[in-house]
Amino acid sequence: MNSASLYLITVAIWGSTWLAIRYQLGSVAPELSIAYRLILASVILFAYIKVKRLPLRFDLRGHLAIAIQALFLYSLNYFAVYLAEAFLPSGLVAITFSTIIFLNVLFGALILKASVRPYVLFGGLLGITGLALVFWPQLQSSNFSGGAQTGLMLALLGTVLASLGNIASARNQKAGLPVIQTNAFGMLYGAVVMFGLSFLRGASLEFDASPSYLLSLIYLALFGSVIGFGAYLTLLGRIGSDRAAYVMVLFPIVALALSTAFEDLRWTLPQLAGVGLALVGNLFVLGRVRKPRLRRQRTAASSAD
């Protein structure tokens, strides 16, 4: 599957998971719902690995690397963002989380020694500005008193953790750890962490057997985790953590587009302008991918002449 397909799959899936998450909020503690989602996703992946007879043996160092990725990407970041949404409007959380573009550039340079690409930073700035315009009505009506500062710190913490998880995944792929098997073990380890958190917080071990909860859980596990993370992390390994992170700008826009269909959301001119800015930023970040290749082709053609 090419990179464009992986990109579109990730944006479409993660843009739709918000509908399913709404059915997960209720009698079951959020950390337990996350744990159930991760354990189901892990079972699906291990079943796929069994059918495809993929290798599953990793040394202790490999498992430690997977566990670090799981801690940052499949557990603690989720928990921080869930807690942040108790204090902040979802729009502000989405804008805060989209700053992962810049964090991926920073951590990529510091940890992976990756080069800093200025056009990625500029495209990311356009995208975040567009996202702010899209959520502007929600932000205007928000009350930033009380626990807003706590919520903002939690959202930033979740973003930093997710970015470190992105970098851990990129490093693991460079070390030869395959995405599918890494995700299978990583989501299993993430589920253990979330069960541990629920125990420490004194959450009762409950489960909602209603059709809406079960169907949303299956959707989040299969599409949101198995397919979504598989596509995104594969994309990350191919085009870099900085470019891949731009999906964090686009999937909230897809979520609002679905809200138009399911909740009769009415768009304003600033929101439409924000979508335009986000798309321009997207083209600016990803449209550069082919240019070096075209330049090399032209150079080769000139040499042949």
- The pTM assigned to this predicted structure is 0.82
Write phi, then psi, for 75 (nearest 5 degrees): -140, -75
Q: Which pLDDT score is estimated for 207?
A: 92
Closest CA to 242 of 113, 124, 110, 65: 124
Which residues, at least 6 apart from 209, have a Cβ–Cβ distance to it below 8 Å?
Answer: none
Burial class (CB in 10 A: 0-12, 13-18, 19+), 227: middle
Helices 30-52 & 76-84 angle (0-180, nearest 10): 150
Strand segments, DSSP code E, in the chain are none
Distance in angstroms (rounded) separating the CA atoms of residues 45 and 221? 10
Q: What 3-state DSSP class applies to 158?
A: helix
pLDDT tens per residue across all 305 residues of the chain: 889 899 999 999 988 887 788 788 778 888 899 999 999 999 999 999 999 999 999 999 999 999 999 999 999 998 888 788 777 776 677 778 888 889 999 999 999 888 888 888 888 898 888 888 887 776 666 665 666 778 888 889 999 999 999 999 999 999 999 999 999 999 999 999 999 999 988 888 889 999 999 999 999 999 999 999 999 999 999 999 888 988 888 888 887 777 776 656 677 788 788 888 888 888 877 765 444 444 444 444 444 44
What are the structure tokens assigned to 173, written together?
A: 């792929």
List the domain boundaries for the chain: 3-304
Distance in angstroms (rounded) separating the CA atoms of residues 260 and 15? 13
Distance in angstroms (rounded) separating the CA atoms of residues 134 and 140? 11
